[in-house]
Structure 1
């Protein structure tokens, strides 16, 4: 009863706002506001509000949500344990240890590894001497000479 009254009041306020917006000659916005304002009344008339309010105030519904939460928590715990072990089920782990079953590493052991190499420049070898600090200032000297400094 209270939920229906609140929805009716929200719809009435929305329609009033739509009327003020239409008075200001913003008809497109007024039509959109009126459409939104009619949604709560439509939900009341279809019975959705009564169904939702009846569901929210029942302890058995909250117990059901609690059980769903516990079930979800148990699924997440088992998934975490499986990931730490590295297997999906005990039979697959036993088959892998004995050499039977599918051998996933034999196909492409680094197929999913990111390919971050050293880049396009080769690594410095023992023959290459590191550049002297004087070479680092050559660019700066060229810029200063260009500007006459």
Structure 2
């Protein structure tokens, strides 16, 4: 009941502001304000406000939101742990194929997957000079520092 009253008052206030705006010959702005002012009363008449008010004070709905949050947290956590292992999805697939080709048992496949994936990664260049390569991310930073004499 209170929510409907507040929405109705907001609509009336918005329509008043739109009338003042139209009186000042700003018809485009007045039309936009009128559109915004009609939204709250439209929500009341369609029953959305009553539905939202019913949800806001229902404990089972809040428990549902908590469960959805816990599920989302589990998804995010497992994804982060998966990424921390350092293997991309393609590397895991390639390592799994290599393990299948070699006939490694599924129980022993986790260390074998890591070993096969690291074997497929390109090795670092020995004897690095410490200078950035043209395709390196730090080449533009080095150029700026050299320009300023640092």
Q: TM-score range by the shorter chain?
A: 0.5 to 0.7
Question: Are 2:110 and 1:93 equivalent residues in the alignment?
Answer: yes
**2: CA distance, partners of 1:117 / 1:45:** 58
Q: Scaled by the length of structure 1, what TM-score is found?
A: 0.62
- Once the two structures are superposed, residues 3-42 of structure 1 have per-residue CA deviations (whole angstroms, 9 ceiling, x without a partner) of 1111000000000001111111111111111111001101
Aligned CA-pair RMSD: 3.1
Q: Secondary structure at the match of 1:115?
A: coil
Between structure 1 and structure 2, the one with the greater Rg is 1
Q: Secondary structure at the match of 2:53?
A: helix
Number of residue pairs matched by the alignment:
113
Flag as ranges the 4+ runs of structure 1 deviating above 4 A. 87-92, 107-110
Q: Give the C-alpha shift of residue 118 in structure 1.
A: 9.0
Q: Give the C-alpha shift of residue 73 in structure 1.
A: 1.4
Closer, same or farther: CA 12–58 of 1 in aligned 2, 3 Å: same
Closer, same or farther: CA 70–24 of 1 in aligned 2, 3 Å: same
Closer, same or farther: CA 109–61 of 1 in aligned 2, 3 Å: farther
Which residue number corresponds to residue 9 of structure 2?
9
Map 1:1-149 onto structure 2 (within 5 A): 1-87=1-87, 93-97=110-114, 99=116, 106=120, 115-116=135-136
- Once the two structures are superposed, residues 109-136 of structure 1 have per-residue CA deviations (whole angstroms, 9 ceiling, x without a partner) of 79xxx921896xxxxxxxxxxxxxxxxx
Q: Give the C-alpha shift of residue 49 in structure 1.
A: 0.9
**2: CA distance, partners of 1:105 / 1:37:** 64
More helix by share: 2
Q: Give the C-alpha shift of residue 95 in structure 1.
A: 4.5
**1: CA distance, partners of 2:122 / 2:78:** 28
Structure 1 gaps of 5+ residues are 120-149
